[in-house]
A and B are shown apart, each in its own frame.
Chain A
Amino acid sequence: MNIAVLIKMVPDTESRLEIVDGKIKEDGFKYMVNPYDEFAVEQAVQFKESVGGKVTLVSLFSDNSSIDTDLRKMMAIGADETIVLRQQGYRGDRTTSNARILSKTVKELDPDLVICGVQGIDYYQAATGPMVAHFLGVPHVSGVTNLELDGDKLTASRQMEGGLQIVESSMPILITAQKDMTKVRFPALKDIMMSKRKPFENREVEIEEGTDVVTVECSLPPSRGGGVILEGDGPEEKVDKLIEKLKMEAKVI
């Protein structure tokens, strides 16, 4: 089975978010593998281990090479090779244009299955998967919490309001991973050593002009000054005060 996994490098969740002149100050960001994409890598490797095949990681990023170590960790989990598309002036919020560029490389790999995370924890558009699927001309199932492989048939459990949609499909197909899909393993030391010898290819790509909406201004959400601590002798009195506030001020009960 030939599997491609899309990886997005996203600012670390501990990153300090500062706004200067309506723009996010990004120069101090450290980057990490988008957590949802790690579930996708783990799932791809589990399929490879059970039926054989190959797992190729594809990522689009700037020429900043500080991310290479983290991508190698994904190969230590069991992926076979990595292709990083290096783009001068890369931005993670050029959703459609980025999806189109990724899909060109994925198409060359001719995979049976493409997996990526349901969304990036930077811009939360949840769009890359469905868009890449469209550009590849394959169906997709998104937000999948469980994925079973039986011969050439896949069964996906897709999270929806109040339940799960159980979807069967043949391949090729694109799947986006929700958190419950897999539990990501800790690679053994020997796998970490081995990953250093696995193929890691950098390719230059250009920015494609596209239809992506440009953000004109970023701002921090209105800050919520800490409110009041409701004092009282014991829980009874505190709760009475809270209910009073919720009724009179917040008017929510």
Chain B
Amino acid sequence: MSTVILVGEVEGNEIKDISQQVAGVAAGMGDVIGLVIGKNISESAMKLAAGKVVIADDEALKYYDPVKYTSIVSQVVEKNGATKVLMGATTMGKDLGPRIAAKLGWGYLGDCLEASSEGFVRPNFAGKILARSKPDGPLVASIRNNAYPVGESWSGSVENFSGKIADSTLSTTSIEKVGAGTIELTEASIVVSGGRGLESPENYEKLIRPLATTIGAATGASRAIVDAGWVPHSHQVGQTGKTVTPELYLAIGISGAIQHLGGMSGSKFIVAINKDPEAPIFKVADYGLVGDLFEIVPVLKTKLENQ
């Protein structure tokens, strides 16, 4: 059996859901050793679903630093003779993965949609193409939230990282919370997105955000309204923005340019609300509502509140 290093992440006092999902994936590939890096994370780290967990808990590791974290992961890999490193495709995973692959001289697959001992599938061209591979050499991969069953919690053995923490010239001075309480687009199970049909940034605030809050959704946007400065780029769904694969995607006042469709057509169910019956978004929507969004959205919000 090969050994797989699973890099887990802690949020608050819990292991991130995505990390537990990847733990489930890793279990199908070999003996799993979990690794959690941070400060004051030891107790939470033990909840990672792996037979053995290595914990690197140190003041110097409070904030993510690619130089320090890469050195820790590669030391744990070498010590355990591992041949795979897996992690969630979070902003940390997507940044750390390639640097580890370069250091170890291994292959790298980022942001995988599917991962198993059978092979990997990752999106190219913002999901307009799916690329399948069956790597046989050592590999680092980051895996996207894809509703994998969460790995079972396990009270296996725990070991403290005893290697050296590399020096780094990077120093994190603070974390600025933007839009506290909002749900991250790429991790959300429901996404409500707005486009030019909203006519003004005020209407985005008035219609899209409250609807999203009502159903616990993340808020997204088309490129057109990001370029117009209505919402920050972190909201953009599509080829030059984020690729999302929620259970439910609501496209409101979005016509559905091909670049946008690429970023959301992997969603399980798509609902489109648009006044133009010819809009391309209806070609991918499971349920379409043709009509005035200014009439439909408030009714939808009220009725969903009563659910």
Q: Are A142 and B95 in contact (CB under 8 A)?
A: yes
Q: Which residues of B contact A35 (CB under 8 A)?
A: 240
Contacts A13-B259, A221-B130; A162 near B182 (Cβ below 8 A):
yes
Selecting from A49-57, A120-128, A185-193, the interface stretch reads: A120-128
Does A27 interact with chain B (Cβ within 8 Å)? Answer: no
A133-B99, A238-B291 given as contacts; is B124 within 8 A of A122 (CB)? yes
Q: Are B168 and A221 in contact (CB under 8 A)?
A: no
Q: Are A239 and B102 in contact (CB under 8 A)?
A: no
- CB of B59 closer than 8 Å to a CB of A: no
For A1-35 the 0/1 string (1 means CB < 8 A from B) is 00000000001011001010000100000000001
Chain B hits for A73, CB < 8 A: none
Does A109 sit within 8 A of B, measured CB to CB? no
In the docked arrangement, what's the CA distance between A124 and B277, Å?
A: 33
Are A211 and B90 touching (Cβ within 8 A)?
Answer: no
Interface flag for B228 (CB, 8 Å):
no
Selected from A162, A178, A239, A250, the residue in CB contact (under 8 A) with B248 is A250
Do A167 and B171 contact each other (CB < 8 Å), given the known contacts A133-B99, A235-B291, A238-B291?
Answer: yes
Distance (whole angstroms) from the CB of B56 to the closest CB of chain A: 18
| B127 and A221 contact, CB distance less than 8 A | yes
Least Cβ–Cβ distance between A109 and chain B, in angstroms: 19
Complex alpha-carbon distance, A170 and B169, angstroms = 6
Q: A143 vs B242: C-alpha distance in the bound complex, in angstroms?
A: 12
Q: Which one of A17, A169, A170, A240 lies within 8 Å of B129 (CB-CB)?
A: A17
Count residues of A near B (Cβ-Cβ below 8 Å): 82
**Pairwise interchain contact B168-A139, C-beta atoms closer than 8 A:** yes
> Of A179, A212, A229, A242, which one neighbours B236 at CB under 8 angstroms?
A179
A250 touches B131 (CB 8 A): no
Question: With A124-B126, A130-B98, A246-B248 as given contacts, are A164 and B175 in contact (CB-CB < 8 Å)?
Answer: yes
Q: Residue A165 at the B interface, CB < 8 A?
A: yes
Say whether A166 contacts B176, CB under 8 Å: yes
Q: Does B251 contact A (CB under 8 A)?
A: no
Q: Are A242 and B271 in contact (CB under 8 A)?
A: yes
Contact A162 B282 (CB under 8 A): no
Q: Which of B270, B284, B295 contacts A235 (CB 8 A)?
A: B295
Contact of B233 among A123, A134, A180, A212 (CB under 8 A): A180
Shortest beta-carbon distance from B5 to chain A in Å: 17
Q: A226 to B282, Cβ gap below 8 A?
A: yes
Closest CB in chain A relative to B180 CB, distance in Å: 7
How far does the alpha carbon of A86 sit from the alpha carbon of B290 in the complex, in Å?
A: 51
* Cα-based distance from A215 to B132 in the complex (angstroms): 6
Question: Which residue, A24, A169, A219, A235, has most C-beta atoms of chain B within 10 A?
Answer: A235
> Are B287 and A157 touching (Cβ within 8 A)?
no
Q: Which residue of A lies closest to B215 (CB)?
A: A253
Check if B175 sits within 8 Å of A165, measured CB to CB: yes
Asked if B79 is at the interface (CB within 8 A of a chain A CB), the reply is no
Within 8 A of B (CB), among A179-213: 179-180, 211-213
B289: nearest residue on chain A (CB-CB)? A238
A14 to B221, CA, bound (A): 20
How far does the alpha carbon of A214 sit from the alpha carbon of B184 in the complex, in Å? 31
**B127's closest neighbor in chain A, by CB?**
A221
Binds A, one of B33-41, B60-68, B149-157, B192-200: B60-68
Contacts of A253 in B (CB 8 A): 215, 248, 304, 307
Q: How far is the CA of A4 from the CA of B27 in the complex (A)?
A: 42
For B135, give the chain A residue with the smallest CB separation.
A213
Among A129, A179, A229, the residue within 8 A (CB) of B282 is A229
Q: Known: A95-B108, A140-B66, A238-B296. Is A13-B239 also a contact (CB below 8 A)? A: yes
Whether B287 lies near A218 (C-beta < 8 A) is: no
Asked if B164 CB lies within 8 Å of chain A CBs, one says no
Q: Which of A13, A216, A246 contacts B132 (CB 8 A)?
A: A216
Given contacts A17-B128, A140-B66, A224-B265, contact A163 B284 (CB under 8 A): no
Contact of A161 among B130, B133, B184 (CB under 8 A): B184
Q: When the two chains form their complex, are residues A123 and B101 in contact, meaning their CB atoms are under 8 A apart? A: no
Q: From residue B16, how far is it (CB to closest CB) to chain A in Å?
A: 9
Chain B hits for A252, CB < 8 A? 189-190, 247-248, 268-269
Mask of B113-133 contacts with A, CB within 8 angstroms, 1/0 = 000000110111111111111
Contacts of B268 in A (CB 8 A): 250, 252
**Which residues of B are at the interface with A, using a C-beta cutoff of 8 A?**
63-67, 70, 90-92, 94-99, 101-103, 105-111, 119-120, 122-135, 137-139, 168-180, 182, 184, 187, 189-190, 215, 226, 232-234, 236, 239-241, 243, 247-248, 258-259, 265-266, 268-271, 277, 282-292, 295-296, 299-300, 303-304, 307
Would you mind naming 9 contact pairs between A and B with Cβ atoms under 8 Å apart?
A: A14-B258, A139-B67, A212-B107, A213-B120, A218-B129, A220-B130, A229-B288, A238-B289, A245-B287
The 8 closest A-B pairs by CB, nearest first: A127-B98, A227-B286, A134-B102, A130-B99, A131-B102, A179-B233, A213-B107, A130-B98
- Which residues from chain A sit less than 8 Å from chain B, CB to CB? 11, 13-14, 17, 19, 24, 35-36, 93, 95-96, 99, 121-131, 133-135, 139-143, 145, 155, 157-170, 173, 178-180, 211-221, 224, 226-230, 234-236, 238-240, 242-243, 245-247, 250, 252-253
